[in-house]
Amino acid sequence: MNRRLFFKALVLTIASFSFKIFPSIKKEPISFDFGVASGDPTNTHVILWTKLTTPSSTNQEVNWEVSSDKDFLNIIVNGSYISEKENNFIVKIDAQIPIEVNAKKLFYRFESGGIYSETGTTFTLPVKNPNKFNIAFCSCSNYPSGYFNAYKEMARDADIDLVLHLGDYIYEYSREGYASSDAKKMGREVNPSNEIVTLDDYRKRYATYRSDKDLQLLHKSKPMIVVWDDHEITNDTWKLGAQNHSQDEGSFDDRKKNAIRAYYEWMPIREVKEREKIWRSFSVGNLINLMMLDTRLYGRERQLEIGTYFNNNKLNKEEFKKDLLKPRALLGKEQLEWVRNKVDKKYRWSIFGQQLLIGPKYLPKIFKNKEISNDSSYYASELAGEELPFNTDQWDGYPREREEFYKNISNSESNLILAGDSHNSWFSNLYDKNNEFVGIEIGAPAISSPSFGDTFKDKTGIIEYEFIKDNKDLVWVNGRNQGYVSLTITELDVEVQFKYVSTVKSKEYEVLEPDIFRVEHNKPYT
């Protein structure tokens, strides 16, 4: 037998009994139970996200690919990634996209162990000015409060290019907590059942939310840019504590670190060295300068507690006013300086995605009527009709920093300031203390969290009317419906549409007629 035939025979012999010598390696089942997502698109890169579900305790190799066609016949870029148990088997790719396909629709997917994920669609932000660009924004998606019907409608809206989520993507409460009365009936009880504090708690809560098929549909359909608000950590968070954190829950700093780690694991957000510095910017040609801000965590000093200014059911108004005007950080010096440097007149529109209502909001005089306000306490009647903030958690509690922010964005062609958090829809003209026009405020309704209408029922219409009457800069408010806002942005104007679903308590719903406003470049709405 010659040497070549000998080695061939040897290989065949070894192959025939190798499975007897070496035990077979059992492959663990792999699935992509939480779908796919993309986010933080720039002109050249986009984050691609998924999560493996596997009983394995070993790291897993995951392949990913981006194509210009849904059949993946023309692969643009691809690669592999090691998904680690330590990092919750998250896969996050910062994919560099060739400039030749800038702003074009792209398809992406993941594969591991011969199993493929769903296919997602995404794109990079245009380098050149588009004729128009469409942004949707939303906030306050409380899983036990109702179905994510508005997410489904955003996913279905072919006109939307990009989605901004302005916070309260999850809520931290226990199963018996806020807005959970209908959860069991709707099959929307959260896991874990306790209020979330540990890293494992936060991971399980995100898993509950991301199991929702309407949210999965939105993530696979559109790229999303996100910022957190308080409930991603706990209610009324500031940099050193929170209203909903007590000593028996351990260190607040540890809780905050757990929340931030889980957030970066589960959200399609670009990794940075200092994760608490979540503010960042994006550009669409010279049409849009999008700046995402953090008004919640990094720079915020503790908000005033109005209750401490009451004595014998009477508000000490002078003391309250005096303390309101003291220096108090919301963005903080570092972020304020970043904003000042980022604003640039070369952009037609400066858009600020942030968490809180910025324009003054005063409680209408009608709240002195306890039958209207549903409030038998002294709180509402003492604040009603006064030019004093009733919610110091918003920018109203930080008036000096608000004026500093207005000054820092004055070197802009035109400002749109977006807000979440309030669960209601708002549209306001913004003016500084010298009555100079600053820009337009657009506040988003909740995806599913309770609104005015859930509290005041058939009195909601009169309360909306009184809010507009007693707040000179407020153009319009809707406290009845859940939904989202879409912006169609052109060189000349922005069409603002408040889009609503008829209910969040049933999967059967109707899409309501939108409320529409047209914002002209650098002009107050009239």
- At 262 the three-state DSSP class reads helix
Residue 299 — pLDDT band, cuts 50, 70, 90?
very high
Pairing of strands 474-478, 425-431: antiparallel
Does pLDDT of 126 surpass 80? yes
User: pTM, whole model, 2 decimals?
Assistant: 0.94
Separation of alpha carbons 100 and 103, rounded Å: 9
Mean pLDDT value of segment 384-407? 97
Asked if 440 and 476 touch (Cβ cutoff 8 Å), the reply is no
Does pLDDT of 25 surpass 60? no
pLDDT given at position 97: 98
Contacts of 472 (CB under 8 A, 6+ apart): none
pLDDT given at position 370: 75
Q: What percent of the chain has pLDDT over 70?
A: 94
Mean pLDDT value of segment 299-324? 95
Does pLDDT of 330 surpass 80? yes
pLDDT given at position 215: 99
Mean pLDDT value of segment 454-467? 94
Separation of alpha carbons 60 and 56, rounded Å: 8
Mean pLDDT value of segment 288-311? 97
pLDDT digits 0-9 by tens, 348-357: 999 999 999 9
pLDDT given at position 378: 74
Separation of alpha carbons 239 and 75, rounded Å: 45
Mean pLDDT value of segment 265-286? 98
Does pLDDT of 101 surpass 90? yes
Mean pLDDT value of segment 459-463? 94
- Per the prediction, the chain carries an average pLDDT of 93
pLDDT given at position 373: 63
Tell me the helices (H) and strands (E) count for the chain, helix number first. 13, 25
Domains detected in the chain: 24-124 (2.60.40.380), 126-520 (3.60.21.70)
Backbone φ and ψ of 483, nearest 5°? 165, -140
More confident site: 377 or 343:
343
